[in-house]
């Protein structure tokens, strides 16, 4: 009964405490009062209440709603309780107390700096610290994680911050606060302690990976139970390591004297080592987690101070790390023999294996010119001639049983899989046979018919490949389309096999003239050529836009070298002026219609390729976009005289390129302004897109900068830009802060109070404005692009 009563009273008490907490959460003013009230309970005998109390203490010192000054008073009052709670054996309570201590330590430290005689308080803090540090290595993982945080706080407090007094943060608590002749706080001792703690903190990054290894090997010998300890050690590794890593950024950024040491420790840490111990799913996952944590930490440091001393070292390290990780993952996926779970990596692995398999199987010995067949003198069918297989089943197979499409499919597939040396060997084998055959005297025909009864015609070769496609798809396909054609003709012409056999016996063979290419073939090979040019452009080293600038100066021709620029010029001019003359022919048939003439298929193909090429990496290929659009515009001008009915292409493609780029623009893409300033003609539609940019809070700055830039340096479009800005000013008040300066500079009249705002007044005459801009494009282009352009303005002049 008594026990039950006791229980219920504890529940009641917890409920009361709960409502007290609810009160302070809604009104923090009562917090100190409530905390003082619960301190005796926290020291009491009832463990449930101590648990609650420890959590409440931790919450008190971490909550942002209680002020720091108030926290300090409370901290001094709570120290005794905290010291006592550190003797608990429950991880939950210890976690809260250590978390609490981490918050309290800087407060007490500052308090001691200013109250030099309060040795008692510092003594208590010291005891607390000692207890926490003793748990750091031996406590449960959750507690150790809190200890790491506590140690970080101690190091922060007991080391020197920014050495430059002008940059120092007055509110920051560091060793610089301690007066030199402090009776309790000894500077060298505190500093030394911090150094020692830092070394201990970083030791988790240095730990010998083999240590874990020994545990696991022992574990596997000992069986199930101890294996778990082995894994646990590795677990806590990852947990403690990521926790440590996530505490280092602040130390590096605010404690410059120890920054180098920490960064070096992080750089020497190999997050991938865990997998080398044993590559379980868990270790692989932990490896990824640790690698990612290291990455985020290092990037954070570099981003905080891009000019800092570690930038180059860190970026190198990150690159190396990604390479190592990629290699490791590849190696792992190769090692895994029979992967059961169907995740992506496994799928990839499977297909890889299949491909490997596909490549490996077709090596049924490179045909070593079967002697028994070669010897056969006299009449021989095509099938015999081409069959290199010694397999009887294969040689007697009638390929004509298969439908033509299937055969073509098989040939195609096998051509992709066949290995070059096999192919070469097979070709030479057949060539040799053919040669021997021609040189051998023709003899009686009928004998030959006995064997190839099932494989009669000239179309025999491909069927022979059906069962064993990789070994020899060669005869047919290698000997090119010409030969194939010939055979097809053969097939059509000579249903009579005898006739053909005899022809073969006579050894009559003359190479037929190449057939005329059809329009489609022509197109196809042109497309191929264009594709090859693009692949060449792509192969050149990726240099920055700035360093691509040609250094030849006036001596420069359009394509002086066969470098990236040369090819770019070639391809852009091919699409525009290069195909200019051909356009008429293509379209002639539809003369009757009054519509504008469309460009030829090939030039549009190139344009489309160019478009995709640029969109793929518009930041790195902006120069190509500029050259191309300038060419396009120039060509439009020339063609306008020669072929008035031709459809101008510049606007179409310019807008298409912009449509492709705009969705992916980011606020930081200032280089994009170069594209906008170097294209020869700017239209109202384009400025409307820029306006859309201004309405996106993320990219508004970029959009307005563009309008500013154009209005300032491209006088002919200034009016159009100002129309957009005026519209923004009138209709989007949230942007007024950014547009005000520009409006007051160029359109002060808008700012004057006006009863009727005319946002639409300009939209009536966009065409006129475009035209005006286009005509003066050259002039204004000179003024702004002289500094950066190399070929855009010269292009029309160059040969």
Q: State the residues that interact with another protein by CB under 8 A.
A: 22, 25-26, 58-59, 62-65, 89-92, 94-95, 99, 102-103, 138-143, 145-146, 149-150, 153, 231-232, 235-236, 238-239, 242-243, 245-247, 249-250, 280-282, 285-286, 288-289, 292-293, 296-297, 299-300, 341-344, 346, 659, 662-663, 689, 692, 695-698
For 238-257, b where at least 16 C-beta lie within 10 A, e where not — what string? bbbbbbbbbbbbebbebbbe
Specify the residue, 524 or 734, whose C-beta has the smaller distance to another protein: 734
At its nearest, how many Å lie between another protein and the CB of residue 705?
17
Specify the residue, 21 or 160, whose C-beta has the smaller distance to another protein: 21
Specify the residue, 295 or 577, whose C-beta has the smaller distance to another protein: 295
Structure tokens at 634: 């120039």
Specify the residue, 55 or 468, whose C-beta has the smaller distance to another protein: 55
Strand partners, 597: 646
At its nearest, how many Å lie between another protein and the CB of residue 55?
10
How far the first Cα of the chain sits from its last, in Å, is: 107
Specify the residue, 349 or 606, whose C-beta has the smaller distance to another protein: 349
Specify the residue, 92 or 766, whose C-beta has the smaller distance to another protein: 92
At its nearest, how many Å lie between another protein and the CB of residue 579?
31
CA atoms within 13 A on the CB side of 755: 0
At its nearest, how many Å lie between another protein and the CB of residue 361?
30
Provide DSSP, 491-507. Answer: HHH---HHHHHHHHHHT
Specify the residue, 244 or 569, whose C-beta has the smaller distance to another protein: 244
Q: Are 774 and 714 in contact (CB under 8 A)?
A: no
Cα–Cα distance measured from residue 708 to residue 6, given in angstroms and rounded to the nearest whole number: 77
At its nearest, how many Å lie between another protein and the CB of residue 149?
5
Specify the residue, 64 or 592, whose C-beta has the smaller distance to another protein: 64
Q: Are 35 and 56 in contact (CB under 8 A)?
A: yes
At its nearest, how many Å lie between another protein and the CB of residue 677?
21
User: Among residues 435, 434, 454, 445, which one has the least CA distance to residue 392?
Assistant: 454
Structure tokens at 563: 């470098």
Q: Are 280 and 238 in contact (CB under 8 A)?
A: no
Q: Scan for tokens 């005891």, then name that residue.
A: 127
Specify the residue, 394 or 686, whose C-beta has the smaller distance to another protein: 686
At its nearest, how many Å lie between another protein and the CB of residue 142?
3
What lies within 8 Å, CB to CB, of 223 at 6+ separation is none
Structure tokens at 718: 């200034």
Structure tokens at 768: 């006129």
At its nearest, how many Å lie between another protein and the CB of residue 249?
5
User: Among residues 651, 743, 669, which one has the least CA distance to residue 706?
Assistant: 669
Cα–Cα distance measured from residue 314 to residue 305, given in angstroms and rounded to the nearest whole number: 12
C-beta contacts of 215-223 below 8 A and 24+ residues apart: 216/277, 216/278
At its nearest, how many Å lie between another protein and the CB of residue 495?
58
At its nearest, how many Å lie between another protein and the CB of residue 280?
7
Specify the residue, 341 or 371, whose C-beta has the smaller distance to another protein: 341
At its nearest, how many Å lie between another protein and the CB of residue 533?
30
Q: Are 661 and 689 in contact (CB under 8 A)?
A: no
Q: How many residues are there in the chain?
A: 799
Specify the residue, 59 or 468, whose C-beta has the smaller distance to another protein: 59
Instruction: Output the CA torsion 444→446→447→450 (10° steps).
Output: 170
């Amino acid at each position: 009964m008594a026990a039950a009563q006791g229980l219920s009273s504890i529940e009641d008490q917890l409920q009361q405490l709960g409502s007290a907490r609810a009160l302070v959460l809604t009104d923090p003013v009562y917090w100190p009062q409530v905390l003082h009230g619960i301190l005796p309970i926290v020291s009491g005998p009832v463990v449930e209440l101590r648990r609650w109390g420890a959590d409440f203490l931790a919450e008190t010192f971490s909550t942002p709603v209680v002020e720091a000054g108030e926290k300090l008073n409370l901290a001094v009052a709570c120290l005794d309780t905290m010291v006592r709670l550190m003797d608990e054996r429950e991880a939950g309570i210890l976690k809260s107390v250590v978390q609490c201590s981490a918050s309290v330590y800087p407060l007490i430290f500052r308090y001691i700096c200013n109250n030099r005689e309060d040795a008692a308080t510092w003594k208590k803090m010291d005891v607390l610290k000692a207890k926490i540090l003793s748990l750091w290595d031996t406590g449960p993982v959750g507690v150790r994680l809190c200890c790491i945080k506590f140690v970080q706080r101690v190091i922060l407090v007991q080391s020197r911050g920014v050495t430059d007094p002008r940059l120092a943060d007055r509110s920051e608590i560091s060793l610089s606060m301690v007066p030199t002749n402090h009776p309790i706080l000894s500077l060298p001792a505190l500093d030394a302690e911090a150094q020692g703690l830092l070394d201990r903190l970083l030791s988790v990054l240095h730990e010998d990976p083999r240590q874990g290894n020994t545990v696991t090997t022992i574990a596997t010998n000992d069986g199930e139970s101890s294996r778990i300890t082995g894994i646990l050690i590795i677990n806590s590794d990852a947990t403690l390591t990521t926790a440590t890593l996530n505490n280092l950024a602040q130390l590096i950024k605010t404690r410059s004297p120890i920054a180098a040491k920490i960064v070096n420790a992080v750089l020497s840490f190999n997050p991938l080592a865990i997998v080398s111990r044993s590559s379980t799913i868990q270790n692989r996952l932990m490896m990824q987690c640790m690698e990612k944590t290291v990455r985020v930490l290092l990037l954070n440091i570099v981003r905080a101070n891009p000019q800092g001393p570690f930038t180059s070292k860190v970026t190198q390290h990150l690159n190396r790390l990604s390479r190592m990780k990629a290699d490791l993952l590849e190696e792992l996926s190769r090692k895994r023999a029979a992967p059961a779970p169907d995740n992506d990596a496994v799928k990839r692995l499977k297909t890889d294996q299949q491909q490997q398999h596909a490549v490996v199987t077709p090596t049924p010995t490179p045909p070593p010119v079967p002697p028994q067949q070669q010897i056969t003198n006299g009449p021989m069918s095509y099938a015999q001639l081409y069959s290199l297989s010694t397999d009887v089943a294969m040689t007697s197979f009638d390929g004509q049983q298969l439908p033509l499409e299937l055969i073509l499919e098989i040939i195609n597939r096998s051509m992709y899989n066949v290995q070059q040396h096999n192919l070469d060997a097979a070709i030479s084998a057949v060539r040799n046979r053919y040669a021997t055959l021609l040189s051998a005297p023709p003899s009686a025909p009928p004998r030959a018919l006995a064997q190839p009864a099932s494989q009669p015609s000239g179309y025999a070769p491909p069927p022979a490949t059906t069962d064993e496609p990789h070994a020899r798809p060669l005869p047919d396909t290698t000997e090119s389309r010409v030969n194939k054609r010939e055979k097809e003709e053969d097939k059509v012409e000579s249903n009579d096999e005898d006739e053909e056999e005899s022809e073969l016996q006579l050894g009559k063979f003359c190479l037929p003239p190449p057939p005329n290419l059809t329009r489609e073939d022509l197109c196809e090979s042109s497309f191929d050529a264009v594709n090859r040019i693009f692949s060449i452009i792509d192969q050149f080293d990726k240099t920055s836009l700035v360093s691509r600038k040609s250094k030849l100066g006036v001596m420069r021709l359009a394509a002086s070298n066969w470098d990236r620029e040369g090819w770019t010029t070639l391809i852009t001019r091919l699409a525009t002026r290069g195909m200019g003359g051909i356009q008429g022919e293509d379209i002639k048939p539809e003369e009757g219609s009054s519509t504008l003439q469309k460009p030829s298929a090939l030039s549009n193909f190139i344009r489309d390729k160019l478009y995709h090429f640029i969109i793929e990496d518009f930041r790195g290929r902006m120069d190509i976009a500029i050259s191309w659009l300038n060419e396009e515009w120039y060509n439009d001008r020339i063609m306008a005289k020669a072929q008035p009915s031709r459809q101008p292409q510049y606007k179409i493609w310019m807008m298409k390129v912009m449509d492709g780029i705009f969705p992916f623009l980011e606020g930081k893409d200032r280089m994009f302004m170069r594209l906008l300033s170097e294209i020869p003609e700017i239209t109202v539609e384009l400025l409307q897109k820029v306006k859309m940019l201004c309405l996106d809070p993320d990219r508004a700055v970029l959009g307005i900068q563009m309008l500013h830039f154009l209005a300032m340096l491209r006088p002919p479009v200034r009016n159009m830009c100002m129309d957009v800005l005026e519209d923004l000013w009138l209709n989007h008040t949230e942007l007024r802060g950014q547009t005000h300066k520009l409006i007051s500079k160029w359109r002060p009249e808008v700012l004057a109070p006006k009863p009727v705002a005319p946002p639409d007044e300009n939209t009536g005459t966009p065409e006129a404005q475009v035209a005006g801009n286009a005509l003066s494009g050259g002039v204004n282009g000179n003024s702004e692009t002289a500094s950066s352009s190399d070929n855009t303005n010269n292009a029309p002049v160059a040969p």
